[in-house]
């Protein structure tokens, strides 16, 4: 079952994803992320992280196309690296 995960994303990384330069996300895997899930990334400025979003609220929705679980290649076992694509490009039935 595909899930949508709402995540706070610092402006530096959000902007790189928005420009298409950053096509991956590294996160603590405390949500059981799965290939095909949707990430709804919400832009937060560094000074407001955890306190409130940049106004007006900006979001990007991306689909997880690949999941590299930690515990290998020097990645902490609690973390994962997720490959991302636009929702239309990564349609999963």
pTM: 0.84
In tens digits, what is the pLDDT along the chain, a chain of 93 residues?
A: 889 999 999 889 999 999 999 999 999 999 999 999 999 999 988 765 555 555 557 899 999 999 999 999 999 999 999 999 999 875 554
Name the strands in the sheet holding 59-69, side by side, starting at the edge strand that comes first in the sequence: 4-10, 38-44, 59-69, 79-86, 24-28
Q: What is the pLDDT of residue 67?
A: 98
* CB-based contact 39:64 (threshold 8 Å): yes
Q: What is the pLDDT of residue 7?
A: 95
Q: What is the pLDDT of residue 42?
A: 93
Domain 4-86 sits in CATH at: 2.30.130.30
Q: What is the pLDDT of residue 40?
A: 96
């Amino acid at each position: 079952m595909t899930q949508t995960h709402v995540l706070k994303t610092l402006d530096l990384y959000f902007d790189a994803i928005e420009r298409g330069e950053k096509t991956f996300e590294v996160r603590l895997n405390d949500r059981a992320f799965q290939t095909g899930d949707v990430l709804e990334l919400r832009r937060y400025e560094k000074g407001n992280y955890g306190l409130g979003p940049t106004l007006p609220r900006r979001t990007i929705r991306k689909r997880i196309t690949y999941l590299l679980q930690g515990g290998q290649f020097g990645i902490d076992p609690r973390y994962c690296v997720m490959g991302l694509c636009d929702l239309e490009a990564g349609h999963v039935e």
